Amino acid sequence: MDPQRYLNVDSWQFRPSSAFNSPFWTTNSGAPVWNNNSSLTVGARGPILLEDYHLIEKLAQFDRERIPERVVHARGASAKGFFEVTHDISNLTCADFLRAPGVQTPVIVRFSTVIHERGSPETLRDPRGFAVKFYTREGNFDLVGNNFPVFFIRDGIKFPDMVHALKPNPKSHIQENWRILDFFSHHPESLHMFTFLFDDVGVPADYRHMDGSGVNTYTLINKSGKAHYVKFHWRPTCGVKNLLEEEAIKVGGSNHSHATKDLYDSIAAGNYPEWKLFIQTIDPDYEDRFDFDPVDVTKTWPEDIIPLQPVGRLVLNKNIDNFFAENEQLAFCPAIVVPGIHYSDDKLLQTRIFSYADTQRHRLGPNYLMLPANAPKSAHHNNHHEGFMNFMHRDEEVNYFPSRYDPVGHAEKFPIPQPILTGRREKCVIGKENNFKQPGERYRSFDPDRQERFICRWVDALSDPRVTHEIRSIWISYWAQSDKSLGQKIASRLNLKPNI
C-alpha cells in the first residue's frame, strides 16, 4: 500500500466530504482499521479491552448520531433546484437575484409538517412548512413560510404557549382537542387560520400539490430607497390536491412517509415539481386605507384589491444527496435576508428573527451556518470564529476590525426602510383586530359540500368530552360572529344556542 496515494496534504482546504473517502476502513482520525467485525478481547472468548479505540469511537459516535429534533417542523423532506426570474420587478427591489428576467439562483427547499415528531405520519391534519433557501450572489435569503397564508397568532410572545397547546398532553403524550380549543378560545385572532386548518387543505395530498406562502409581511426596497410591503405566494403548476378523512387514513395506513416518497420518486423520474412565485405589494404610505393592519399575520390581502404580480418560477430538479446533511442539518431563519428585502413591523416576524437562529444554535451549534447546506455559496468574511464544531481553517493573524493590516472594509451601503418611529413603551394589541370578517368571507367562499365538511370537523372537535360548556359556547359565538348561519349550524348539532 502506498500511503502517499491516499494522502492529500492540503486536505484542510476542503470541507469534509465523501469525495475523499479511503478505499479501506479508518477511524475518524484516518488510522486504518484492519478488522471492523470483531472487538479486541483477551483470548477468543475473553472480556473486551477498553484499549480497543476503534470500538469505543464507533459506539460513542453511534450514541451521538441523533441531534435534537426540531421543536416544530421536525418531520420534513428536502429537494434542490433553481429559482428563475420571469418578470421584471427591479422597480420594487434592488435584490440582485431579482435583477432581471432569466436570472437563475440555486435553491434548496424543505417541506414539513409542524407539530408532530420526526417519525410521525405525513397524513395528519396540520399546517405544512414551505421553506426556501436562495443561494444568491449577495448571500443567502431564507423565505420561511407555510402552505397557509395566515397564522394562529399575531404576536410571537404567545408562540411557546401555542405550541405547548398543540403538542401532545405532557402527561399522556396524546394530542387532545380540549387543550387546543381551550388555548385558542382566548385568542379569536386564530379563527382565520382555523378556516384553513379545518378546511380540506388541512391535509395536503403531498408536498408537490400544495400552495406556499411567506406568511409574514416583508419589505421590498428599490435602489432609490422606496419601500413597499410585500407578501410572497407560491402556486404549484400541477394544482392543489388534498386528502379527505377516509383517503388520509388509507394513504397513511399504507405508507406513513408517502409525501417524502412522492417528492423523491417524482424528481427521480424527471417529473420535476414547479411553483410560480407571485407577490402582493402595498405602499406603506397608504396602509391606513384598509380595515385590517397589513402587517397583521392573521390577515390576507384581498386579491381583488391588491392583485397578485408574477415574479418567477421555482423548479426542484435534484434530490438531496444525504438526508441528515441536507434535511436534518438544513436550517432556516427569517432574519436571513439580502439587500433589497427587509423586515416589517409584523410582531410575529420580529420575534421569529431571533427565535429561529437561536433554536438552530441550540440544535446544531453556534457554527451551524458553516454546515454545507447552510453556508452561503458567495464569498463571505467576518471575525466570527472558534466555538463548538468550528471546522473552518483560518490562518490569519488579525481577527478584529478595523485594522491597518487587513484591507477588508465595509460593503457598499444599500437602502433599508427609513420610517421615523415615535410612541410610548407599552404592551398592547394592534388597533384593527377585525378578527371575524375574513374568516366569515372564507367560509362563504366554500361550496356547500366543503362547508359541510368544515362544520363536521368543528362539531367533532367540540364534541371532545373534556371541552366544557363554556368553551363550546365561546367557539360557537366566535363562528356566529364570523357567519351567523355557521354558528347556528354548529350550535344546533351540539344542542346549544349561539350566544353572540
Structure-model confidence comparison of residues 394 and 325, the more confident one: 325
How do residues 131-178 score in pLDDT, each as one tens digit?
A: 999 999 999 999 999 999 999 999 999 999 999 999 999 999 999 999
pTM: 0.92
Please state at what angle helix 469-482 crosses helix 448-462, rounded to 10 degrees.
160
CA distances from 357 to 138, 334, 363 (A): 19, 9, 10
User: Which of the four pLDDT bands, split at 50, 70 and 90, describes residue 1?
Assistant: very low
pLDDT above 90 coverage of the chain, percent: 75
pLDDT at 500: 54
- Residues annotated in a binding site for heme: 356
Q: What is the CATH number of domain 76-370?
A: 2.40.180.10
Most confident of 43-52, 73-82, 421-430: 73-82
DSSP 8-state symbol, 160: H
- Residues annotated in a binding site: 356
User: Which of the four pLDDT bands, split at 50, 70 and 90, describes residue 16?
Assistant: low
Structure-model confidence comparison of residues 314 and 393, the more confident one: 314
Q: Sort strands 218-221 and 341-342 into parallel, antiparallel or unpaired.
A: antiparallel
Catalytic pick from 54, 140, 146, 233? 146
User: Which of the four pLDDT bands, split at 50, 70 and 90, describes residue 36?
Assistant: confident
**Separation between Cα atoms, residue 132 and residue 336, nearest integer Å:** 11
How do residues 395-432 score in pLDDT, each as one tens digit?
A: 888 888 888 998 888 888 889 888 888 888 888 888 89
Does the annotation mark 384 as catalytic? Answer: no
**Separation between Cα atoms, residue 243 and residue 204, nearest integer Å:** 6
Residues of the chain with CATH 4.10.91.20: 1-65
Q: Indicate the length of the chain as a whole number.
A: 500
Residues of the chain with CATH 2.40.180.10: 76-370
Cis upstream peptide for 402 (omega within 30°)? yes
Catalytic pick from 73, 116, 233, 258? 73
The answer to whether the Cα torsion of 384, 385, 390, 393 is positive or negative is positive
Does the annotation mark 73 as catalytic? Answer: yes
Fold of 1-65: Cytochrome C Oxidase; Chain J (4.10.91)
Q: Is residue 174 classed as helix, strand or coil in its secondary structure?
A: coil
**Separation between Cα atoms, residue 307 and residue 278, nearest integer Å:** 9
b/e for 448-486, b at 16 or more Cβ within 10 A?
eeebebbbebbeebbebeebeeebbbbbbbbbbbbbeeb
What are the backbone angles phi and psi of residue 104, rounded to the nearest 5°? -115, 145
Q: Sort strands 128-136 and 76-85 into parallel, antiparallel or unpaired.
A: unpaired
Please state at what angle helix 245-254 crosses helix 258-268, rounded to 10 degrees.
70
Residues with Cβ within 8 Å of 198's Cβ and at least 6 positions away in sequence, in order, are 125, 454, 457, 458, 461
DSSP conformation letters of 83-144 = EEE-S--TTT---GGGSSTT-EEEEEEEEEESSS-TTS-TTSS--EEEEEEEEEBTEEEEEE
User: Which of the four pLDDT bands, split at 50, 70 and 90, describes residue 5?
Assistant: very low
Please state at what angle helix 159-166 crosses helix 177-184, rounded to 10 degrees.
150
Residues with Cβ within 8 Å of 52's Cβ and at least 6 positions away in sequence, in order, are 39, 40
User: Which of the four pLDDT bands, split at 50, 70 and 90, describes residue 499?
Assistant: low
Q: Sort strands 104-113 and 212-213 into parallel, antiparallel or unpaired.
A: unpaired
What does the CA dihedral 453, 459, 462, 466 come to, rounded to 10 degrees?
-120
Indicate the burial class of 287 (C-beta count within 10 angstroms; 0-12, 13-18, 19 or more). middle
pLDDT at 118: 92
Q: What is the 3-state secondary structure (H, E, C) of 422-448?
A: CCCCCCCCCCCCCCCHHHHHHHHHCCH
**Separation between Cα atoms, residue 160 and residue 358, nearest integer Å:** 14
Weakest mean pLDDT among 4-18, 197-211, 222-236, 322-336: 4-18
DSSP 8-state symbol, 381: -
Please identify which residue in the block is written with the cell numbers 431564507. 142
How do residues 272-302 score in pLDDT, each as one tens digit?
A: 999 999 999 999 999 999 999 999 999 999 9
pLDDT at 21: 67
**Separation between Cα atoms, residue 453 and residue 192, nearest integer Å:** 17
pLDDT at 18: 54
DSSP conformation letters of 251-320 = HHHH-TTHHHHHHHHHHHTT---EEEEEEEEE-GGGGGGSSS-TT-TT-PPPTTTS--EEEEEEEEEEE-
DSSP conformation letters of 214-250 = --S-EEEE-TT--EEEEEEEEEETT---B--HHHHHH
Average pLDDT, the chain: 92
User: Which of the four pLDDT bands, split at 50, 70 and 90, describes residue 63?
Assistant: confident
Single out the residue of 304, 316, 327, 334 nearest to residue 141, CA to CA. 334
b/e for 89-116, b at 16 or more Cβ within 10 A?
beebbbbbbbbeeebebebbbbbbbbbb
